[in-house]
Structure 1
Amino acid sequence: MMLKSEHDISQLIQQCNDMMEILKAVQLLNLPDWWVCAGFVRSKIWDTLHEFQESTPLSDIDVIYFDVMQTDEHLEKELEQELRRISPTYPWSVKNQARMHVINDLPPYKSAEDGIAKFPETATSLGVRLDTPGNVVLTAPHGIQDVINLIVRPTPLFKSTKHLAAVYNQRVKSKNWQSRWQRLVTET
């Protein structure tokens, strides 16, 4: 399958029953500014481009949202429990982007999409959610060219900030994505 546009990616996800089940489960929480992101989207794209018949198992399903009024990490754990109740077969991870800037010692994020823009790799800086009619909406703050061209490179923030560049390099090494997706090209 050829993936050339954001529309192609949205359609790919819309046609995947498991991914739609996940998105519908998250939508039930009615979280403000929510997205399912990172490997959930990236791995589907890479699997498709590598013509894998089986989806790569995910270590977690990254669900993010943005709520400056309730930044207690305990709430995130409650939301994970609720998702496990709704759909127990998935490894849920929920994070409020209104508090995640602290991890990288950055100024506060303005939205969940701002948080996605500050993920380590451009190919991972992707998120999807459902709109009111139930269509897949994609956000790609750094575009989709890297992910569809199988390029792993740091986002501008992780490239230009010394301590974050080290985080990116360690992450690429530990993830070892090329062992699964051999056609990837990694920029260091």
Structure 2
Amino acid sequence: MVLSRLPVDEQLVALRDILSHNSVLTDVLAKAAELRLPDWYLTAGCVFQTVWNVVTGRPAADGILDYDLFYFDANDLSWEAEDAVIQAGYTAFADIPATVEIRNEARVHLWYEQKFAVPCPPYDSTEAAIDSFAATTCCVGVRVERDGRWRIYAPHGLADVFNLLVRPNPVQAPRHVYETKTTRWRQQWPTLTVLPWPTLPEKLG
């Protein structure tokens, strides 16, 4: 069965089934829901790399460095407020055998330029932050609502994730971030197809 050819509603079911193979991820989802953070998602590598592992027959959690938990709270942009959430996370995830990285996406513009040497306009939601990942393939977020329903955000769809195709997303992250990440990913998942970063056409004299 080619997962990328399933109807969209069935792709969502397939994604949830695949992610359920990663018990670390499902435990993080359950405990994150208890924190009741505003506009939160578990996102980035722990999501799409779980898919890559399962569809290539690897252990579901293999090679996943950390679990990124994003939330959005513009009411208090202080480091102290974000750190309080991070400390609460240390307690909540103390028995999880993985690193859970918690970040308030409302604060990203305050430190992004210093880290990546390019400015970052303020985000207005966690979804906007996910939209800016270096590869469109990475733009997937999941969470479990308080009633147990899964919420999945995937602005570029799921076909590339299922097909192990990495496509650049040159809207915010610089080229070197994309190339550094994809070089590491290829070492772990050698069957990936990585599309090159787009180049600007030369100006005519």
- When normalised by structure 2's length, the TM-score is 0.79
Task: State the match for 2:47 in structure 1.
Answer: 41
Task: State the match for 1:28 in structure 2.
Answer: 34
Q: Per-residue CA shift, 1:22-79, capped at 9, x if unaligned?
A: 1111111111100010011011100011111352143221010111112223333332
Q: Per-residue CA shift, 1:69-101, capped at 9, x if unaligned?
A: 122233333322222212213312111111213
- Runs of 5+ consecutive residues of structure 1 not aligned to the other structure: none
Which deviates more, 72-81 or 116-125?
72-81
Which runs of 4 or more aligned residues in structure 1 lie more than 4 Å from their structure 2 counterparts after TM superposition?
none
- Bigger radius of gyration: 2
Q: Measured at CA, do residues 32 and 54 of structure 1 come closer, stay the same or move farther in structure 2, by a change above 3 Å?
A: closer
Query: Which residue among 164, 167, 170 is the counterpart of 2:180?
Result: 170
- Runs of 5+ consecutive residues of structure 2 not aligned to the other structure: 5-10, 113-117, 197-205
Kindly, what percent of the aligned residue pairs are identical?
29
Contact 2:25 2:67 in 1 (8 A): no
Give the letter for the 1:83 counterpart: G
- When normalised by structure 1's length, the TM-score is 0.86
Contact 2:54 2:60 in 1 (8 A): no
Q: Measured at CA, do residues 73 and 180 of structure 1 come closer, stay the same or move farther in structure 2, by a change above 3 Å?
A: same
Report deviation, 1:156.
Answer: 4.3
Separation in 2, partners of 1:83, 1:112: 18
Separation in 2, partners of 1:36, 1:117: 14
Separation in 1, partners of 2:163, 2:86: 33
RMSD (CA atoms):
2.1
